[in-house]
Amino acid sequence: MKEEIDKLTGEKWIKLSKEEIRFGFLAQCIEILAEKKACNYVEMLKRLENVNMTEGYILAHYDILHTESIDNIISELSDLLLKRESEKCE
């Protein structure tokens, strides 16, 4: 994160690195999924990490995922989470 000043207006603003933006996207996905599944953030994070969806899917496919609507993203992630968890139990 880097604070910058607009040369024309003199206003201060914060510029995020690409990594910070990607992790912010990940956090948003976890929060919305947790709300949808009526569990807390930490529980959802553990579920996602247990089936390699944080780094192995959400961050790995950020460039494609972030261009979709949040409703489509959450629907896709929810379906994939259930699929991966059921496969892990087999």
pLDDT digits (tens, 9 = 90+) for 13-59: 888 899 999 999 999 999 999 999 999 999 999 999 999 999 999 99
Q: Residue 70 — very low, low, confident or very high, per pLDDT cuts 50/70/90?
A: very high
Nearest to residue 74, comparing CAs of 10, 17, 13, 31? 31
Amino acid, single-letter form, for residue 51: V
Task: Give mean pLDDT, residues 55-77.
Answer: 96
What does the pLDDT read at residue 50?
96
Q: Report d(CA 90, CA 83) in Å as an integer.
A: 11
Is 90's pLDDT higher than 80? no
Amino acid, single-letter form, for residue 5: I
Q: Report d(CA 23, CA 54) in Å as an integer.
A: 10
- The Cβ of residue 82 has, within 10 Å, a number of other Cβ atoms equal to 12
Q: Where are the domains of the chain?
A: 2-89
